[in-house]
Amino acid sequence: MQDLPEEALQQVAAYFQALAEPTRLQILNLLRQGERNVGEIAQACGFTSANISRHLSVLMQRGLVAREARGPAVYYSIADESVYALCDLVCGSIGRQAEKAVAQHSSFLRSSQAAPARRGARRAG
């Protein structure tokens, strides 16, 4: 991001805004398995076709998905595969943070459970 002009930074922010919606991430995850039409995506996500269409429109505006009409059906696919590398990087980081938090919590619980036993041992002596 170093030395990027303001306009480019705004485009980067818009890209991340497109990824800042769980439904859009779910759509991208589905498209990772291959192209789908709006109805298939809506059914898999549990949302209406109109809702999915709005999300796909945002993803298209940011260049993340491509649209191809085939007769009466329209199919969507990933236009920028690098989004998966980015998502995998972020998911990995979040996973490591969660593991660290669990380990810290477990360590705290072990030390707080051991503390009463140590206090009791001092009283007995």
Q: For 59-117, how does the pLDDT look when each residue is reduced to its tens digit (9 = 90+)? A: 999 999 999 999 999 999 999 999 999 988 988 888 888 888 888 877 777 777 766 65
Number of domains making up the chain:
2
Instruction: Let me know whether 24 and 76 are in one domain.
Output: yes
User: Does a structural domain hold residue 46?
Assistant: yes
Domain membership of residue 19 as a residue range: 6-80
User: Does a structural domain hold residue 1?
Assistant: no
pLDDT band at 118 (very low <50, low <70, confident <90, very high): low
What 74-78 contacts at long range (C-beta under 8 Å, 24+ apart), as own/partner pairs, is 74/37, 74/38, 75/35, 75/36, 75/37, 76/31, 76/35, 76/36, 76/37, 76/38, 76/41, 77/31, 77/34, 77/35, 78/28, 78/31, 78/32
Instruction: Let me know whether 61 and 11 are in one domain.
Output: yes
Instruction: Give the per-residue pLDDT at 23.
Output: 96
CATH of the domain at 35: 1.10.10.10
Instruction: Let me know whether 68 and 109 are in one domain.
Output: no
Q: Is the pLDDT of residue 124 over 60?
A: no
Distances (CA, A) of 121 to 18, 107, 116, 118, 124: 58, 21, 9, 5, 5
Closest among 3, 46, 40 to 22, alpha carbons compared: 46
What global pTM score does this model have? 0.75
Instruction: Let me know whether 38 and 85 are in one domain.
Output: no
Instruction: Let me know whether 64 and 91 are in one domain.
Output: no
Instruction: Let me know whether 105 and 66 are in one domain.
Output: no
The CA distance from 21 to 17, in Å, is: 7
Instruction: Give the per-residue pLDDT at 125.
Output: 54
Residues 40-48, mean pLDDT to the nearest whole number? 96
Q: Which residue, of 60, 80, 100, is where some domain finishes?
A: 80
